[in-house]
Homo-oligomer: A and B are copies of this chain.
Amino acid sequence: MTTNDNPFAGHNGPIDTQDGLYSEDELRLSNRNSGILLETLALDVTPTGLHYLLNHFDVPLLDAGNHKLSFSGAFDTAAELSLDEIKAMPQVTLPVTLECAGNGRAGVSPRLHAMPWIYEAVGTSEWTGTPLRPLIEQMGLRSDAVEIAFTGADYGFDKGVGHSFGRSLTLAQIAELDVMLVYAMNGQPLLPQHGAPLRLIVPGWYGMASVKWLERIEALTQPYDGFQQLRTYRYRETAEDPGRPVTAIRVKSLMVPPGVPDWGSRKRYLEPGPVTLTGRAWSGAGVPISRVEVELDGAWQEARLEAAVGDYAWTKWTCDWTASPGEHVLRCRATDADGQVQPLEAPWDAAGFGNNAAQKVVVFVGQSAAAL
C-alpha cells in the first residue's frame, strides 16, 4: 500500500458541526478514545486503564519477543535493537503528565469534526525506559543530521492519505527535553493500547509527540515532511492557514467534581456545609505551576498547592468552600511560573487544539435544589 492510495478521498470533505450535537462519526471516535474519570484526579498517578487514549488507527498487536527498533538514515551504520537490548541500557522512571492536543475540542465553536474531548484527555503515569539522547549519540549520529523521525507500526488513512503514524524532533528539542524510549508504565510492561512493546515519551509536550508502537528511528538531513506533523497538529486560524506546530502543553487545571453525580446529566449534588475542593494543575515543558484560583460564588479564591508529583507531572491543589443551598458554577484556573494564565473562554483554533479554558462544574447544593 502506498501513500498514493486514496480510498477515502470522497469521504473527508469539510463537515459542518453543530454546537452541542455530535455525529455518528464523532460518537464512534468517542467510543474508541477514552479519557480519565475526573474523580481520579485525586490520585497522584492515574490508574492503569484510565490514562487517556487517543489512537489514530488500529492498535497493532506486536510481538515483544521479536520486536526490533531500526536506526536508519544519517547514522554511521544502520542498526536494529531488540527490546532486551534496550532494557539492558540505563533505566529511568519518570512520572509524566500527558494531555491530548485536542482535549477540550468540544468546547470550541465551531469545532472540527474529530474526537470531541470535553475535559478528560489527560493522565499521569510513571514511565520506565531509557533516555533517548545518549542512545542516539551512541548509534553514531552524523553531523549532517538535522532532525530525527520516529515511526510507529500503526497505519491508516487521514484525508485520503495512507501513512504510518510518525513525528519528528529536531536535535535541539531532543537536547532540551528529557525524551525517553519507554517499555513500562506504572511498573508493568506497556499495554497494547499504550504502545507495546516500545514507545516514545516526550515530557511536557502534547501527546502526539510520544509516538507509540515505535519501529523506526531515522536521522534526517532535511526537515521531516510527515502527515502528522505538517497536515495536522498545527495551530491554525483557518483550515487553509499553514499554521504553527503544536508543541508544549499549555497551562491548565481541572477539579474533581464535588459531591455525587446524576447518572444521565453528570450534574452534581452536594449537601450544604464545608467542603474541600481538590484537583490538579500542570503546564508544559517542565514549567512549574505557581498559582491556582477557584471561582466560588463569583470571587476567585487562592488554592493551596502541594509539591508537584514530578518535574513533568501535575501539581495537586486544594481549596476550602462553604457550600450554601442553591445552584453554583465552580471554575478553576492555573498560572505557571512563566506567567501564563488559563483563559476563561476557549482560545480559537480551527482544529480545536490547545483549548486550556477554565473548567466549569455545575453543582446543586441542598434540598432547595429539588425545585430547580
Which A residues are within 8 Å of any B CB, using their own CB?
Answer: 1, 5-12, 20-32, 34-35, 37, 39-40, 42-43, 47-51, 53, 55-59, 61, 106, 113-114, 116-118, 120, 155-158, 162, 188, 191-194, 257, 260-267, 269, 271, 364, 367, 369-372
Number of copies: 2
Chain B residues positioned under 8 Å from A106 (CB to CB): 24, 27
Chain B residues positioned under 8 Å from A49 (CB to CB): 48-51, 191, 193-194
**Distance (Å) between the CB of A41 and the closest chain B CB?**
11
Is B192 within 8 A of A40, CB to CB? yes
How far apart are the CA atoms of A28 and B20 in the complex, in Å? Answer: 11
Chain B residues positioned under 8 Å from A21 (CB to CB): 21-23
Q: Which residue of B lies closest to A193 (CB)?
A: B50
User: Given contacts A11-B262, A162-B260, could you give 14 more A-B pairs where the C-beta distance is less than 8 Å?
Assistant: A5-B367, A11-B264, A12-B262, A25-B264, A27-B30, A28-B265, A31-B117, A31-B118, A32-B266, A39-B59, A48-B191, A58-B260, A158-B262, A158-B263
Q: Which residue of B lies closest to A263 (CB)?
A: B158
Is B162 within 8 A of A8, CB to CB? no
Is A264 within 8 A of B113, CB to CB? yes
Q: Which 3 A-B pairs have the closest CB atoms?
A: A49-B49, A34-B34, A7-B369
Q: Provide a sorted-by-A list of 20 A–B residue pairs whose CB atoms are within 8 angstroms.
A: A7-B369, A8-B262, A9-B370, A10-B372, A11-B262, A11-B264, A25-B265, A27-B27, A27-B116, A31-B34, A31-B35, A32-B35, A34-B34, A42-B61, A49-B193, A57-B263, A58-B260, A158-B262, A162-B260, A188-B188
